[in-house]
Structure 1
Amino acid sequence: MKLAIMQPYIFPYIGYFQLIHAVDKFVIYDDVNFINRGWINRNRILVSGKDSLFTIPLKEASQNKLINEIEVNWDSAWKNKWVKTLEQSYKKAPFFQQVMPLVEQTLGQEKQIFSEIIVANLQIINDYLGISTEIVPSSVIYQNTELKAQNRIIDICLQEKATHYINPIGGLELYDKQVFAEKGMLMNFIKSQSVQYPQLKNEFVPWLSILDVLMFNSVEKIHEFLNAYELV
């Protein structure tokens, strides 16, 4: 059984979905400390042909809180402004009509805990793309917060009886393949290959939010992108 573990990100880039697609079960690591100015509540989209950062406002977010303790600030003025920005930026994109309902579903949730909203958002996008990977939050199952770093990851893998753990390439210096092997598991890092597509008449801007990928590409084309990686 292939397993991956990642912190929750809202509308993350295509590499995040490559990781989800590569495994049988995807654990949302939501009971670790929130990271200020990280990617949990931020990402980039095209605005006037240039990459622009969007941030979903949170209530009293702090690195002293766990991710699953952080609430979202569902301010209607912010939501309306962001939807208008998306509409102005992507209304000429070929799949605008199909993708905006996914945004509206996400913004229309009544949940207050941001990580729960992200889990639902990931499932919404997975359903649209036909990705069947099971998504589970770490906070509701594993009960091992006394463990840290690699030891905790290995414990989750053992609890799930995983035979293959896949991690983003950014963790190359954090995890030791030999330690996983000693526990009876194969361990790899996923390395995304270049993904390019037309963004109207703009010069291509890579690695934007999945929203950009969805707006400009069919589900069939996105499946090609989902497989554009190597395991190292």
Structure 2
Amino acid sequence: MKIAIMQPYFYPYAGYFELFRQSELFVIYDCVQFPRRGWVHRNKIRRTNDAHESGEWLTLPIASCSQQTKIKDLSFAQDAEAEWYQRLQRFPTLYQALQNRQDAFETICSLDVPPVDYLVENLRFACSFLGLHFNVVRSSELSIPESYKAQDRILKILKELGGSCYNNLPGGRELYSQEDFRDNGIELNFLETMHISKKSVLQDILGI
């Protein structure tokens, strides 16, 4: 079975969704430390329709937490909904587009669940828009011992799920050893995404 394992990102670029397209099972990697400067809780979105605009950070209102907090244990801030509306309104083109798409508005503006649930639901929504299958499992559901770290943790997850091929993005080349995966009977495959736009797929969904 072809498996992809990635942290849940907030409306990532199209390359991320290539993992859904080319894998039979997608593992939401939520049993690891929350990367504060990563893409789990934020993305760069254009404020206008100017295609040359690089975009600004749109960040989910995550509650303060310790550096050791895992993604699965994140929570939204107490005033998250009000804060989220304020942040969305800093992106007038985005906010207007949401007003015109009830399904997108309800999905993106509903913060009444834990952040990891929110992120999974929004990935589901994006996959539906892109016509991709959404077969997922969360790594936190597998009860992998804490003693497994980095590559060893990935290998343990793949073995638990019966994976024969691990699909990863090009950035993972420096993290994983082809030889180690081969020794464990698993093919390590890196997808080529160099010609794919790096913009958030949210802009494509909303046509902005």
Residue 123 of structure 1 aligns to a residue in which SS?
helix
Instruction: Output the amino acid matched with 1:174.
Output: L
1:33 is aligned to 33
Given that 1:21 and 1:133 are in contact with CA atoms closer than 8 Å, whether structure 2 keeps it comes out as no
Residue 188 of structure 1 aligns to a residue in which SS?
strand
Q: 1:38-78 deviations in whole A, cap 9, x for unaligned? A: 21111011113321111112111332111111101252332
Given that 2:80 and 2:111 are in contact with CA atoms closer than 8 Å, whether structure 1 keeps it comes out as no
1:3 is aligned to 3
Change (3 A) 1:92 1:77: closer
Instruction: Output the amino acid matched with 1:144.
Output: P
Instruction: Output the amino acid matched with 2:7.
Output: Q
1:108 is aligned to 110
Q: 1:12-53 deviations in whole A, cap 9, x for unaligned? A: 111111112210111111111111222111101111332111
Higher deviation after alignment, 120-129 or 35-44:
120-129
Given that 1:36 and 1:62 are in contact with CA atoms closer than 8 Å, whether structure 2 keeps it comes out as no
**For this pair of structures, how many residues does the alignment match?**
203
Change (3 A) 1:22 1:97: farther
Instruction: Output the amino acid matched with 2:59.
Output: T
- Give 1:80 shift: 2.1
Q: 1:110-133 deviations in whole A, cap 9, x for unaligned? A: 21x211211111112222322113
- What TM-score do the two structures reach when normalised by structure 2? 0.87
Q: 1:183-204 deviations in whole A, cap 9, x for unaligned? A: 2111111221324xxxxxxxxx
Change (3 A) 1:106 1:17: same
Given that 1:14 and 1:213 are in contact with CA atoms closer than 8 Å, whether structure 2 keeps it comes out as no
- Give 1:166 shift: 0.9
- What TM-score do the two structures reach when normalised by structure 1? 0.78
Higher deviation after alignment, 152-161 or 47-56:
47-56
2:148 is aligned to 147
2:44 is aligned to 44
Given that 1:14 and 1:210 are in contact with CA atoms closer than 8 Å, whether structure 2 keeps it comes out as yes
- 2:121 counterpart of 1:120: yes
1:160 is aligned to 161
Given that 1:13 and 1:209 are in contact with CA atoms closer than 8 Å, whether structure 2 keeps it comes out as yes
Instruction: Output the amino acid matched with 1:12.
Output: P
Distance 2:201 2:12 in 1: 6
Distance 1:33 1:91 in 2: 31
2:21 is aligned to 21
Change (3 A) 1:7 1:91: closer
Residue 26 of structure 1 aligns to a residue in which SS?
strand
Instruction: Output the amino acid matched with 2:148.
Output: L
Instruction: Output the amino acid matched with 1:107.
Output: C
- 2:56 counterpart of 1:55: no
Residue 165 of structure 1 aligns to a residue in which SS?
strand
Q: Which runs of 5+ in 1 are unaligned?
A: 196-205, 218-232
Distance 2:198 2:99 in 1: 19
* RMSD of Structure 2 on Structure 1 (CA): 2.3
Higher deviation after alignment, 68-77 or 113-122:
68-77
- Determine which of 37, 61, 83 is the counterpart of 1:78: 83
Residue 11 of structure 1 aligns to a residue in which SS?
coil
- Give 1:175 shift: 0.5
- Determine which of 52, 66, 78 is the counterpart of 2:70: 66
1:212 is aligned to 203
